[in-house]
Chains A and B, each alone.
Chain A
Amino acid sequence: MAREDYDVLIVGSGHSGGMAANILTGKGISCLMLNAGPQADFARDRVAKPVYELPYRGFGEPGRHPHIYQADEFNANQWVDEREVPYTYDPDKPYNWVRVRLLGGRSLFWARESFRLSDFEFKAAEIDGTGESWPISLADLDPYYSRVEGIFRVFGRKEGWPQFPDGNFIEIDYGPDSQSIKKVIELATARGIGCSKGRGAQGQNGLASSINLLLPDALETGKLEIVPNAIVREITTDRNTGLASGAYFIDRHSRREMHVKARVVILAAGCLESTRLLLNSGIANSSGVMGHYLIDQIYGINVVASVPEARDGKAPAGLMGGSVFMPRFRNLKKDEKRNFIKGYCVRVGSGVGASPEMFALYGAELEKKLASYAGSCLVGGIYGERVPRFENHVRINKEVKDAWGIPVLHIVAKDSENERNMAKDAADTIEEIYHAAGWEMVSRTERYNPPGYSIHELGTCRMGDNPKTSVLNKYNQSHDIKNLFVVDGAAFVTCGWQNPTMTILALAMRASEYCAEQMRTGSI
């Protein structure tokens, strides 16, 4: 029996795929969503266990997730197993590719930090004097950000700063700042650094995922069908028109291959999986840019100080606790001369302890030291922007295939002096504030995690007005194949220091509305 063709095929079910399904079905468009993994049942699939009952006493199965620093033995089964879906990289350029294939993807587990990009990122080439700008500005995306923030119930404190755009925020009471945080704010402000508070998505019932905020409404329309365990291998095109015609996919369990037809194909498999699929399909890359300009954020540095008055459990009430958030404060002025472009944000938390490895001690001496420093420390770290560079790229490695016989990605990502200088500037800045406060430096490092660690991989199908230098147009639509869209993070031109989720969602919403209108008018 011939199956009915769908209006739109959506590959992936995370934030971007969920948004596409939500918008399109809301306009009466029938959608089929293919997801590479199963649906998790949070009640059935999780059990409370003491760590000593785990097979590896909390260490995790050795060698199972060598690149997922976020993995532990409790959550090991939520991540993609590298042995099933491997990837390759040059030995001296490690990359941490952190993936989730459950229905809902990484939207099930994200940290929910919710920021807008600003025109310092959208118009980066004009600010930095190098690189590319996006084909859109904050003004283009502003109404979509507002709607997304409403759906995800984003809280935040409005500041009116151009590098930290305000939004449609729920106002919350952050509570009074502790004395130590007030001191950081005073010293940072005196150095021209704006201090604010974190912004995040409240979601519903502790979850801000596509599975609870986007897909239920789409299913309610009766226009969405979701197929789990469907691993898409190739996007097919019509031999006569060159347009996308559907996709081959493989059932995860039986390995049976099937083909589905659709009028429009929307890729939302998560940045690098979407790009891998396009590269394996050999389409939409007349620019030669596909796979290039891989970016994400540097997460790291660790600068720790201890407040002497707070040691040995003697901190007076109100001295310690809380946090301060400093959005990008570098390279906001044209005449600023630094040894790096772009910027970073700083987060300082107060009231934490020192870690055992901060002291060259052991046994009773170490425990005494840790007890003394418990609750007396402040720790500062950053999210910094990596520079998009052509040489940071992904390509297909035909020599290695995943468990379903699909060629894997080879990832090439390496940092430059720009990232290292940025991290040093951040560590110097935080340390200077600690010194000015008269606190004892406990530990400092300018080190940061390898590319990919932030789980914010972006780019590789960047958007732009010029089809010769970009893969997608400003509506996330392929320059080459007009009924093909990529609505996840692959479209990013620059990454900013911000968690990209709100931007991915806003872009996916905008692209989906554009797609629906194009379908309505018969343009695609």
Chain B
Amino acid sequence: MKRRGFLRTIAAAPAVAVPLTGQQPAQQAPAGRGGMRGGQGAPELETTAADLTADAAAPSFFTADEYAALRALGNLLEPPLNGHPGALEAGAPEFLDFLIGVSPADRQKLYREGLDALNSQSRKQYKKLFGDLDATQADALIRPLLVVIPWSEDLPKDPLRHFIAQAHRDFRTATRNSREWASAGASSGRRGGRGFGGGTGLYWLPIDPVVRG
């Protein structure tokens, strides 16, 4: 599927190739030391987003057992519904493996210990890992851990409940902010708001950033 997306993008590129060497701006800019002459006439070439051409690399932050539990948790909390992709179809576990891997230590600890606790409880209750549970077993384990959160910053004090609440929130965002979710919304004529449902927003580029040598 990724490859097809890539080919579609190539096919959509302009039929007439831009002769790179033939571009001459009306007024040449002063030559810089790097030899970039006349840059204002340079064509903007069609490019393709990386995730249309490649799959995420193998999970690098979580262990195999943790990652299997993470996938199972995502599949349970955010299943495919009403024509929209679920967490797995949206690549949410792969994304969270990356995101948590570059997150502050307390968030990494929350996830690691949460997934380990899930596996531990699962072993105790069913003698197998959380990723190997069927839907009924997973529901029986997770449902008692769900809590109402009236204030977004007031996550549960119990570490496992805290992890489940945070993971639920993260899976929801990672799924609904995915390209796959946006494609499903576009094909059904639905439009999501910013932040959820593949919405579009005005992104501030770095503004006159300080360049450090």
Contacts and interface: CB of A to CB of B under 8 A. Distances in A.
Contacts of B169: 356-357
Nearest to A363: B79
B182 A302 contact: no
Given A51-B177, A51-B199, A358 B150 contact: yes
Contact of B204 (A39, A77, A84, A252): A77
A47 B205 contact: yes
A77 B49 CA distance: 22
Interface residues of B, number: 50
A292 to B, nearest CB: 28
Contacts of B95: 57
B200 A78 contact: no
Given A38-B207, A367-B82, A443-B150, A52 B76 contact: no
A474 B185 CA distance: 58
Given A52-B182, A52-B198, A46 B203 contact: yes
B104 interface: yes
Contact of A362 (B49, B146, B205): B146
B152 A102 contact: no
A45 B81 contact: no
Interface string B171-203: 011100111011000000000001100111111
Contacts of A46: 202-205
Nearest to A72: B195
A51 B146 contact: no
Contacts of B66: none
Interface residues of A, number: 51
B103 A45 contact: no
B202 A40 contact: no
Given A62-B99, A367-B82, A52 B178 contact: yes
Contacts of B170: 59
A51 B201 contact: yes
B82 A445 contact: no
B21 to A, nearest CB: 28
A447 B172 CA distance: 24
A465 to B, nearest CB: 41
B34 interface: no
Interface string A69-91: 00011111110000010000000
B201 A362 contact: no
Instruction: Please report whether the interface of chain A is mostly helix, strand, loop or mixed according to DSSP.
Output: loop
Interface in B140-170: 142, 146-154, 165, 168-170
B79 A364 contact: yes
Contacts of B19: none
B211 to A, nearest CB: 8
A22 B81 CA distance: 57
Given A45-B207, A75-B204, A78-B204, A358 B79 contact: no
B77 interface: yes
B22 interface: no
Contacts of A51: 177, 182, 194-195, 198-201
A48 interface: yes
Interface of A: 37-40, 45-54, 56-59, 62-63, 66, 72-78, 84, 102, 229, 252-253, 300, 302, 356-364, 367, 403, 443-445, 447, 449
